[in-house]
Amino acid sequence: MAKTLMVQGTTSDAGKSTLVAGLCRVFARRGMQVAPFKPQNMALNSAVTPCGGEIGRAQALQAIAAKVALNTDFNPILLKPNSDTGAQVIIHGRAISNMEAAKYHDYKKVAMQAVLQSHQRLEAQYELILVEGAGSPAEINLRENDIANMGFACAVDCPVIIVADIDKGGVFAHLVGTLALLSEQEQALVKGFVINRFRGDISLLQSGLDWLEEYTGKPVLGVMPYLHALNLDAEDAVTIENHVVDTQLKVSVLLLPHISNHTDFDSLRLHPNVDLTYVRHEQQIGPTDLIIIPGSKNVLGDMAFVKAQSWQAEITRHLRFGGKLLGVCGGLQMLGQAIYDPEGIESSQKQISALNLAQFTTTLRGNKTLTQVSGQCLLGDAATAIKGYEIHCGISEGKALNRPFIRFTNHPENITQDGFISDDNQIVGTYLHGLFDTPDAANVILAWASDGRVQANAFDLAAHREQQLERLADTCEQHLDIDKLLALASKA
């Protein structure tokens, strides 16, 4: 039976996801079979498992760090917000329904059973389970029926370490306050602290560390330094840092209210010759080579948002002057004539007129497509290998799709093609996520978008991710008491 160790945080973005990813790689390098695990995740960035399930992007990254195949048991409950108060509820990789927050709060008792089932299956398959909490365990209003933090830790009786971000300030108040708001049983499960994102001379922090250990009776298990330019797949927040050496292509991505899988554009954001900008609320798109309309978890609502921003007129002007336009997943659906949601899959709105830039319509259905696929990109002079994944509820039909963007060579549902290329070659639409992550295909797309200015130098995101994970693991080895962490897990 596997050992279990849980990482909780004093706040969101304290570093839980990154720390678990680093520890996954540390223990994988030691030859251990490691499984990442997050009982409940709320995020719009997700990934598709080989079996056709859906999990949070952070758990996919952690699985890569652990060098194991993606598994729906790594993230048994995934919540994908489609409004300020509601979300699609995904259990064991499959969407079961949309729920308002109050209804889901009552549903947590059922959800906990799914969480425990997944944990039990992982216990039988792996040596070590590294669990990531969600947000903070000290959110008083969320404590009842909790399944994401101490509710889970108490249910399986696993040791917990708490991580806090010193870069934002108040680290000792965060740690002591979090511990104080836990019950005695929960406090007993907390075995130590990790301080994250420290800058400067560690000797100046030592008196504070000594006080923290004496005051709480819990050890500080390490102080992680601030890792500048650490680029790993974001779980939720859009990363806008963009390091351009020599701009050869300007790309503008529309920052939709319900944008999903914006990690599609990490390869562009990290490309030394691509100046990528996210166009925000009430901003103009401005001069650019390529406009990208990304995926959306509420495509009808986001289509209305695009119109309200006057972006439709700017897109029309951009195309009139020869610019290129790419729609991905929900963005593809917005390029057509209309979008229908008769079953209320994503919202109460039943239909909306789209941008009318291509002859097809889209109807949302309850049966979500979740597949890893490969095929040939048909955009250039010759077909080029491409691979990625699909996550969508829509079925698109119409004349424009007779000139596809991709011809599939491997699709689990025996679908032969995807997307479209406009007759004037200015507009491309596709359901494929990760389309820039295959370097050869990315070269073709970048050459199309730049009219040939960007040639044969696509950014290799997979190789970069591996480099960053190794860097993170090296830092964990240097600054954390790894043997003590493993010993803590052994006591579970």
Distance CA 369, CA 362 (A): 14
The reply to whether 393 belongs to the active site is no
> Which residue of the set 158, 329, 377, 476 is catalytic?
329
Contacts 24+ apart (CB under 8 A), 183-190: 183/150, 185/154, 186/137, 186/150, 186/153, 186/154, 189/150, 189/153, 189/154, 189/157, 189/158, 189/159, 189/160, 190/160, 190/161, 190/162, 190/218
Residue pair 209/193 in contact by the 8 Å Cβ criterion: no
State the alpha helices, DSSP H only, in 43-88: 57-66
Closest CA to 224 of 191, 206, 192, 202: 202
State the alpha helices, DSSP H only, in 230-310: 266-269, 299-308
> Which residue of the set 392, 433, 476, 479 is catalytic?
433
Between CA 207 and CA 217, with CA 211 as vertex, the angle to 5 degrees is 140
> What DSSP state is assigned to residue 473?
H
Question: For the CA atoms of 304, 309, 312, 318, what is the dihedral angle to 10 degrees?
Answer: -150
Alpha-carbon radius of gyration of the chain: 23
The reply to whether 479 belongs to the active site is no
Distance CA 408, CA 419 (A): 11
Sign of the CA dihedral with 402 first, then 408, 414, and 415 last? negative
Show which residues are catalytic: 329, 433
